A and B are shown apart, each in its own frame.
Chain A
Amino acid sequence: MEILDLSLIELVQRLSERSIDPSTVLDAYFQRVKRLDPKIKAFIDIEYDRLVSQLGHLGSIGTDKKLQGAPIAIKDNICVKDVYATCGSRILRSFRSPYDATVVQKLRSAGAILFGKTNMDEFGMGSSTENSAFFPTRNPWNLEYVPGGSSGGSAAAVSSIQVPAALGSDTGGSIRCPASYCGVTGLKPTYGLVSRYGLIAYACSLEQIGPITRSAEDCRLLFQVILGEDPLDPTTRPIPEKMRDNMASASSPLKIALPQAFLSEGTAPHVQKAVLDASERLTELGHIVEETSLPYLDAALPAYYIIAMSEASSNLARFDGVRYGPADPEVAGNPNPIYREHIERYRRKYFGDEVKRRILIGSHTLSAGYYNQYYMKALKVRRLITNAFHTVFKDFDAVIGPTMPDVAFRLNERVTDPIAMYLTDIFTVPVNLAGLPALSIPCGFHQGLPIGLQIIGPSFSDFKLLTLAEQFQGITSYHRQRPPL
């Protein structure tokens, strides 16, 4: 079997047995990157010498590590010591992180090779990776289409087998959207299970780092490595005892809800059909799927954007051309610029339009005169959505539905219409508002483009969701399809 055909689990097993050499694995993947990435453009930064230099470290850590020599790509908003962390932004173009994110340290300890930084929408703001300041990433299934976002580089790299697995981050669907569009498996973990230390913040109360892989089994492996309470991130929580019990696959019939609102007229007919077909497969596996209602879904989207933009306007205040960003004497246009003028002009020059839009609107929704009209109202809707999920989870173990209302769209199709872009997030953002775990797995194709099934569960049900996804992938082959490259 070719190296590139091996799953992450198989690869680690061969590396641990020493039946293949880590440098051979690196070479195989790097050759693939050299051949494919000039057209897909999944990576912002990848250096062969830096990859090879990590091999020396492997010799000293033994042969029983969970990721023993496996290459893992990292989204470019996650800090790796001495490596660029651009966040897809011109303002951080020359920034090298002086420390490792906690998840990166965990990968290193598990024996992973950190395999390049992946492209993303600037600061995670977008659903297509077209908002990267450097270049758009293309969908491996059809290069004229977007890969989704904001972790589009990570999903495209995994889908095109340029790397066996990657890390992304998910603020409102940024792991699940590109996983759906690129036909791979992506997990947004329960809020507080994975440390955000070293994740460059966009909206702290919403985002989590998570794995993007070719299968649910691989996803479980990578998730097991990165999860855990971290004293450096006070919002992390200890893994509850009941969750530890579910870490290994265990199966019992589940009661699964399919909210009618997920299959309304806004969802493309071919996506509706794929989700209904998937629900039949789950029934064949012995699970019970029932339609139910999930109220206030329409309100979740504007509430999410109010909260995300408000938090972004605060988090991005530090990017001012003094604390971050290279000095640019031409910005102010005069030899003795005052501080405030410099910041305002610097940010105008170095931020992209979508970032400026979100900072502007977020500053407005947080401002004294409008706080109650927008931000406070959004926080109340957040409670409504969380309660609506709690009500459903009194009777059900999981919720299924489409990850996205349709398959990927064409490049440039929506760049001039922000609302149209925001509307594609309708099924993913409620999960972030409530801090729940959710997976996207491939469940069909339409005109050669993948369709994603979203599986949502109550807090700490992450492993249960992975088990359900593994069972689904055990009787379907959508996740084994490869793009025609």
Chain B
Amino acid sequence: MGLAALHFEANEERKVRKWIDQVLDWFRQLDKINDIIQDVPPQMAPILLPPKKPPLKQTLGKEAVLENAPETEDGYIKTARLT
């Protein structure tokens, strides 16, 4: 499932299809009010705020970051081997 970045095995397909269809069917009840909402402007957030720039903040030091990593090697964070 590309966009969601989730892998499913072939034998899970029916289950996953049911998950999606069941909920999307339920979402489609909004089609009943298409006429009402046609000219309503969308609202992204509860309030419209003027954009604010977060302040520059001291980042964590290298030592603190490495201490927080599950695995390290030679001063680097060790992650899964990926190609």
Contact = CB atoms under 8 A, between A and B. Distances in A.
A131 to B, nearest CB: 14
B42 A379 contact: yes
A237 B20 contact: no
B60 A98 contact: yes
Nearest to B15: A353
A320 B5 contact: yes
B78 A327 contact: yes
Of B43, B53, B71, most A-chain CB atoms within 10 Å:
B43
Q: Is the interface of B mostly helix, strand, loop or mixed?
A: loop
Contact of B51 (A234, A338, A343, A376): A234
A302 B30 contact: yes
| Interface range for A | 35 or more
A348 B7 contact: yes
Interface string A13-38: 00000000000000000000000000
Contacts of A191: 45-47
Of A339, A343, A380, most B-chain CB atoms within 10 Å:
A380
Interface string A329-340: 101100111111
B14 interface: no
A345 B80 CA distance: 13
Interface string B58-83: 00100011011011000000111111
B27 to A, nearest CB: 5
B10 interface: no
A296 B65 CA distance: 48
A273 interface: no
A347 B78 contact: no
A347 B6 CA distance: 6
A194 to B, nearest CB: 13
A356 B42 contact: no
Given A98-B68, A328-B80, A305 B7 contact: no
A344 B7 CA distance: 5
Contacts of A313: 3-4
A96 B68 contact: yes
A377 B30 contact: yes
A321 interface: yes
B83 A337 contact: yes
Contacts of A361: 19-20, 23-24
B73 to A, nearest CB: 11
A321 B78 CA distance: 12
A380 B20 contact: no
A6 B13 CA distance: 54
Contacts, number: 166
A444 B8 CA distance: 46
Nearest to A94: B70
B41 A383 contact: yes
Contacts of A305: 23, 27
Contact of A234 (B33, B47, B54): B54
Nearest to A192: B47
A317 interface: yes
Interface in A18-64: none
A98 B40 CA distance: 44
B6 A322 contact: no
A374 B27 CA distance: 8
B82 A322 contact: yes
Nearest to A366: B3
Contacts of B36: 384
B70 A326 contact: yes
B19 A382 contact: no
A181 B3 CA distance: 37
A232 B53 CA distance: 9
A323 to B, nearest CB: 8
Of A317, A360, A382, A418, most B-chain CB atoms within 10 Å:
A360
Contacts of A379: 42-44
A416 to B, nearest CB: 11
Contacts of B7: 341, 344-345, 347-348
A331 B82 CA distance: 12
Interface string A103-138: 000000000000000000000000000000000000
Contacts of A232: 54-55, 57
B46 A327 contact: no
B76 to A, nearest CB: 13
A235 B70 contact: no
17 contacts: A299-B33, A326-B71, A327-B80, A331-B80, A340-B5, A341-B7, A342-B80, A345-B7, A359-B4, A359-B6, A360-B6, A366-B3, A378-B30, A379-B42, A384-B40, A418-B22, A435-B47
Interface of B: 1, 3-8, 16, 19-20, 22-24, 26-27, 29-30, 33-34, 36-37, 40-47, 49, 51-55, 57, 60, 64-65, 67-68, 70-71, 78-83
Given A360-B4, A381-B33, 17 more contacts: A96-B68, A192-B46, A205-B45, A205-B46, A235-B45, A313-B4, A321-B80, A335-B81, A347-B6, A348-B8, A359-B5, A361-B19, A374-B24, A377-B34, A379-B43, A418-B23, A436-B46
